[in-house]
Structure 1
Amino acid sequence: MREKLDWTGRRLEVEVGPVAHGGHCVARYEGRVIFVRHALPGEWVLAEVTEDRGGGFCRADAMEVRRAAPGRVTPPCPLADMARGTERCGGCDWQHADGTTQRELKSAVVTEQLQRIAGLDIPVEVRELPGGLLRWRSRVRLAVNGSGRPGLRVHRSHRVIPLADCPITVAGALDDVTSHQWPQQSELEVTRDAAGEVHVTAHGREPARRQRGREKPVSRSVRGDGIAREEAAGRSWHLGAHGFWQVHPAAADAFAATVARMARAPSGGHAWDLYGGVGLFAAVLAEQVGPAGSVLMAESSRRAVDDASANLRDLPQVEFRAGKVERIITGQGLARPDVVVLDPPRKGAGRAVAEAVSAYRPTRIVHVACDPAALARDLGLFIEHGYRVAEIEAFDAFPMTHHVECIAALERIDEGPL
C-alpha cells in the first residue's frame, strides 16, 4: 500500500500562482497543489504546510517573502504580521495587500468562478465602498479562550488569539469588551449600530450538573437594549441587535440602490422578495410598485419577519410570510411576479428554488450573493430555464477579507405567452 503523504510542518520554497476562491493563492510543488495564504500572485515565498490530508493538495502559510509583488504592504494589524508564523488571526485574508490589489484579486475570483462554473465570460470589476479598508465592520463575533479572554480564531482552527482591538471593527465597538474577563469557551456577539450604541450578547452553556447531565445553551444580553437602530434606503430601521443587517455601514444603501435600478418593478405590478431578512429590498420594491401593486416577502426567521412587519407598517402592499422559501413559493394561489429579488444564504438558492422561481416566468430576477461560487451555480440554473445575465455589479463590502458581494440582473429570453 502506498504511504499516505503528510507534509505538515514542512517548509517549501514556491512560486505563487493565481488567486483562488477562499483567500489564498495557488502554488505547485512536486506535482501537488499548495493553497498558500498571506501570499500574492507572482511572489516567491517560503511557505509552511499547515494542513495535509494526503490528497492532491495541502494548505500552507507564507513564512518569508523572497520576492514580493508590487501590491504587498505591511499589515496594519499586528495579529496579521508574518512574524507570528502560523499563529496569525484568521479573521482577515488580505491585510498584506493594498486596496487596489485586494479588489483586483476579488475581481479575478468572481470572473473565474462565473466562467468555470456557469460558463459565463463576464469580466467583473469589484467596486470600493466609502470608508476605506479599516473601521468598517459593525458586527463581530468573538470567541473566548480558556483564560476568559476574548479574541479571534486562527484560520481553520479552534485556537483563540486574544486581542485588545481589531482595526477593521468600527471605532468604539470593542471598548469595554476585550478588557473584560468572560466565561471560558463562551462566544460574544458585538454590534455597534448607526446610532452609536453597542450591543453585546454572551453565548455559553449552563453546567451539566444543573441539567441532569446535559449542558444547556444559554445566552444573555450584557450591554445595550438588544434593538439596533439603522438607517438605509431613506428609512429608519429597528431590528434585533444581532439580526440580519449588512456589516459594512455603507453597504445597505449601496445594495438597495443597485437592486432598485436592476429590478425596475412596474407601478401596480407584483414583486417577490425572497430571503427578505428585515425587509430592506421589500421596501425598495414596495416603493416601485406603489399602493396599487403588491410585494410578497418570504423569510425563514420569524424574528426577522416580525422586525420587517414592524418597520414596513406604512406599506400595506407588502405581505409577509415566515417559513422556508421553497415551501412558500411552491404553495397554491400565488400571483405571477413581474420581478423576483432573492438574497439567499451563503450556500445559494439551489435547484429547487431556481426551478420554482423560473416556473412563474418573472420578467426580471435580481440575485444578491455573498459567495461567487454559489452565485455562479444559481445563475447557471436560471440560464437553464430561459434567462440570460444582463449585468453583474460587485462590491468590496468586506475589505481585508476574501469575501465579496455581487448583485446580478437576469432577464427572460423568451417573453412569449404563458
Structure 2
Amino acid sequence: MSVETVLGDVAHGGVVVARIDGKVTFVTGGLPGERVLVDVRERGTRFDRGVVTEVLDPHPQRVVPPCPVAGVCGGCDWQHADADLQRELKRRVVEEQLRRLAGIDWEGEVVEVLPRWNWRTRMRYRVANGRPGLRAKRSHDLVPLPDEGCRIAVTQDPGERPGAGELQVVDAHSGHVEIVDGRVAGEPVVTERAGGRDYRVAAEGFWQVHPHAADVLVDAVLRSLEPRAGERAVDLYCGVGLFAGALDGRGCDVLGVELNKEAVAYARRNVPGARFQAASVDRFLGRLPKRADLVVLDPPRKGAGRAVVGAVAAMGPRAISYVACDPAALARDLAFFVAAGYEVTRVEAYDLFPQTYHIECVATLTRNSPLH
C-alpha cells in the first residue's frame, strides 16, 4: 500500500528523505519537495526504504528519463532530474557530509564534465538467455537491456551473447575490447591517455570510466600540489601510475604504493622514472619515507582510515592531495587530518558520473593555511 508524503532533502546514496509514520525513510525515484506516493519496501530498525510509485506534485526540474528502465536498473539514480538539478543535489550531499563529519563549511560548486550520456567506457553485464542485462537497484535480479541499450555506456548495445554468463565491455583510448566469461576477445592490454602521457593497463584493470576523468583529476591534483622539480612525492593507492606519472613529469622523485601486483608491473613500465612497491598501503606504513614534500591519496571507496592518515601526516608533507569517490569517507579522513595538524584549503567536486549519485572530489590539505 502506497503512502502519500512530501519528500525532504537529498541524502547520500541517490535518495531523498521522507518521514513516514514517524520514521525516517530513504526514498528512490523522488526529488526534494515533491508530493508523492511511496511504497515502503524495506523495513529496518533505524530507517526504512521506499520507492516513489506516483508523483502528485512534481519538482519543476523533473524530466522524463530517456531510458525505459531508469529507476529499475541500478546503474542510474537521477535520470528524472535535469542536469542542473543533478549537480545541485550532489553539491548538497558533499556540503552536508563535510559539515556533519568533518566540521567543514563548504560552499563550492560541482563542475560539469561532458559528455553526460554515452560516457561509461567500462561496463560489466550479466547475460541471461543470450541477452546482456544489469542488476536491478538493491537487488541481484537481472534487468534486460532495452532495445536501445544502455544510455550512459559508450557501447550502448553489445548485442546477443548466446552461451555467455558474463560480459565486460571496455572502450579504451586504444580501442574496443570485450571480455566474455573471463576470456579476453582482443588485446589483453589497452592504452589510455592522460596529461599528455600514455598508460598501459590490463583490459580488466582499473581506469577511470569517464573518458575525461583522468585528465580532469590529473589537472586537479597538479593544481592542488603545485609540485616543484626535486621534491619528494608519495603516491598511495597509485594503480598503474596515473598521478605518479604527472608528478614525475614535473621533475619529482616519486614513490608509488599499490596492492595490485599487476597494476604495479604496469606502473613501472608507464613511469620508469618512479619507484613502485606492490604492497597493501595499510601494511606498508612502517616502510614509508621519514619525510616527503607531497602526498597523493586515491584510496578505495571506504577511504584511507585513521592509521594511514596518521602515517601520512607523520611524513610532514607541505601539501596533500586527496582524491575521493565517496564524500562520506572523504569527510571522515579529512577530520583525521585536521586532528593531525593539517588544514583543508580547498575541496573541488566533479560530476564524473552523470545520471548517478556518484561524485569525485579532490581535497587539498596544507599546514597553517586558511580554508577558501
Q: TM-score, normalised by structure 1?
A: 0.85
User: What do the CA deviations read for 1:281-340 (whole angstroms, capped 9, x no partner)?
Assistant: 00111122x2xx411011111111111111123xx2x111111112223227x2511010
Residue 17 (structure 2) pairs with residue 26 (structure 1): yes
The residue number in structure 1 matching 2:162 is: 181
User: Once the 2 structures are TM-superposed, how far is the Cα of residue 49 of structure 1 from its aligned partner?
Assistant: 1.6
> Once structures 1 and 2 are overlaid, which stretch shifts more, 363-372 or 121-130?
121-130
Residue 361 (structure 2) pairs with residue 399 (structure 1): no
User: Once the 2 structures are TM-superposed, how far is the Cα of residue 14 of structure 1 from its aligned partner?
Assistant: 1.0
Match of 2:224 among 229, 246, 262: 262
User: Once the 2 structures are TM-superposed, how far is the Cα of residue 33 of structure 1 from its aligned partner?
Assistant: 1.1
CA distance in 2, matches of 1:277, 1:336: 22
Residue 136 (structure 2) pairs with residue 154 (structure 1): yes
User: Once the 2 structures are TM-superposed, how far is the Cα of residue 413 of structure 1 from its aligned partner?
Assistant: 2.5
Within 5 Å, give how 1:308-387 maps onto structure 2.
308-313=267-272, 316=273, 318-331=274-287, 334-387=289-342
* Contact preservation (8 Å) 2:248, 2:271: no
Residue 117 (structure 2) pairs with residue 134 (structure 1): yes
How many residues matched? 367
* Contact preservation (8 Å) 1:110, 1:124: no
CA distance in 1, matches of 2:195, 2:285: 26
User: Once the 2 structures are TM-superposed, how far is the Cα of residue 174 of structure 1 from its aligned partner?
Assistant: 4.8
Structure 2: tracts of 5 or more residues without a match: none
> Once structures 1 and 2 are overlaid, which stretch shifts more, 397-406 or 120-129?
120-129
The residue number in structure 1 matching 2:91 is: 107
Match of 1:294 among 253, 276, 279: 253
Match of 1:194 among 173, 190, 205: 173
The residue number in structure 1 matching 2:266 is: 307
Higher CA-based Rg: 1
Within 5 Å, give how 1:31-110 maps onto structure 2.
31-53=22-44, 55-80=45-70, 88-110=72-94
The residue number in structure 1 matching 2:183 is: 220
User: What do the CA deviations read for 1:151-171 (whole angstroms, capped 9, x no partner)?
Assistant: 11111111001114100001x
User: Once the 2 structures are TM-superposed, how far is the Cα of residue 250 of structure 1 from its aligned partner?
Assistant: 0.7
CA distance in 1, matches of 2:243, 2:283: 21
User: What do the CA deviations read for 1:102-147 (whole angstroms, capped 9, x no partner)?
Assistant: 000000000000001111111231100122x2111001111223x3
CA distance in 2, matches of 1:178, 1:15: 42
* Contact preservation (8 Å) 2:245, 2:270: no
CA distance in 1, matches of 2:239, 2:47: 38
Structure 1: tracts of 5 or more residues without a match: 1-9, 82-87, 204-218
Counterpart of 1:97 in 2: which secondary structure? coil
Q: TM-score, normalised by structure 2?
A: 0.95
* Contact preservation (8 Å) 2:323, 2:362: yes
CA distance in 2, matches of 1:64, 1:224: 46
**Percent of residue pairs bearing the same amino acid type:** 48
* Contact preservation (8 Å) 1:15, 1:43: yes
